């Protein structure tokens, strides 16, 4: 499949709100997967503001980048924080050459990331988050790649406003933002429950949640909520996950 066709399919996938599995966390995961699959980047992270305007780490294609995003939130320092505050792209082609964010830079280099490009997750000209494109080598991303990443991010932000479908005002931005942040918190709680019960890592717990959701044709958030509210037991969930041969 050529790149043009893959790009078309990526944009269609990010705009799809009709599937039974539509979920804000899956939407952001799709965004990271399409970015890493189509662009010259090693890892992608998505951060989003809650209804109060505070940034939250939503998802990342690599655990170490996810931890960097959480660190930025805690320290209120880093390229994603700057991007969100200004609403403008932030570029650091080589983190070794500057001290713009000393604490963030030290942690990023320790994790093996040498360059980072951050684009605003925006809606109607307003930044509602940030999308970080990280590489383990120093280089400027091609302008075409940055344009594609920004386009996919814009589509994902617009798609987010159509969730949750049951909301009285499905296109209300603050409602959508708070719903997405709440969904993230619910999934994190469910991961903890399943991790402790089954003796698996958080990453493995998330995989189990996704597998069960796919098998039952439910959204990830719906399964996480059922587990957190104890209407679904851990053993019942594990029994419904197909075993690998």
Cα separation, 32 vs 178, in Å, equals 21
What does each of the 245 residues of the chain score in pLDDT, given as a tens digit? 688 888 889 888 888 765 555 677 788 888 999 999 999 999 999 999 887 888 998 889 998 999 999 999 999 999 999 999 999 999 999 999 877 899 999 999 999 999 999 999 998 788 999 999 999 988 788 999 999 999 999 999 888 877 654 444 444 566 666 677 778 888 888 888 988 898 988 888 888 988 898 888 888 888 888 988 889 999 989 887 775 43
The half-sphere exposure of 190 on its side-chain side, counting CA atoms within 13 A, is 32
Residue with tokens 């880093």: 78
The half-sphere exposure of 122 on its side-chain side, counting CA atoms within 13 A, is 18
Q: Which positions ≥6 away from 103 have C-beta within 8 Å?
A: 71, 75, 77
Residue with tokens 């990830």: 220
Structure tokens at 34: 């399409």
Q: Which positions ≥6 away from 104 have C-beta within 8 Å?
A: 68, 71, 72, 75, 77, 78, 79
Cα separation, 220 vs 80, in Å, equals 26
Cα separation, 171 vs 162, in Å, equals 6
Cα separation, 193 vs 203, in Å, equals 13
Q: What Rg, from alpha-carbon coordinates, does the chain have?
A: 18
Angle at 179 (CA atoms; ends 13, 193), nearest 5 degrees: 95
Question: Domains along the chain?
Answer: 3-160 (3.30.450.40), 176-239 (1.10.10)
């Amino acid at each position: 499949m050529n790149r043009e066709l893959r790009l078309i399919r990526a944009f269609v996938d990010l705009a799809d709100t009709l599937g039974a599995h539509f979920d804000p966390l899956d939407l952001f995961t799709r965004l990271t997967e399409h970015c890493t699959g189509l662009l010259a980047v090693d890892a992608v992270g998505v951060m989003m503001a809650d209804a109060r305007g505070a940034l939250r780490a939503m998802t990342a294609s690599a655990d170490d980048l996810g931890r960097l995003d959480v660190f930025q939130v805690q320290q209120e320092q880093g390229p994603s924080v700057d991007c969100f505050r200004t609403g403008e792209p932030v570029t650091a082609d080589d983190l070794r050459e500057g001290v713009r964010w000393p604490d963030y830079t030290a942690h990023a280099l320790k994790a093996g990331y040498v360059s980072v490009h951050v684009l605003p997750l925006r809606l109607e000209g307003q930044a509602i988050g940030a999308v970080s494109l990280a590489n383990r080598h120093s280089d400027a991303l091609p302008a075409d790649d940055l344009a594609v990443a920004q386009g996919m991010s814009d589509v994902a932000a617009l798609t987010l406003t159509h969730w949750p479908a049951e909301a009285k005002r499905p296109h209300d931005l603050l409602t959508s933002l708070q719903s997405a942040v709440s969904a993230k918190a619910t999934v994190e709680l469910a991961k903890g429950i399943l991790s402790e019960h089954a003796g698996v890592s958080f990453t493995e717990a998330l995989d189990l949640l996704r597998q069960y959701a796919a098998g039952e044709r439910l959204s990830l958030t719906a399964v996480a909520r059922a587990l957190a509210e104890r209407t679904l037991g851990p053993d019942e969930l594990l029994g419904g996950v197909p075993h690998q041969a």
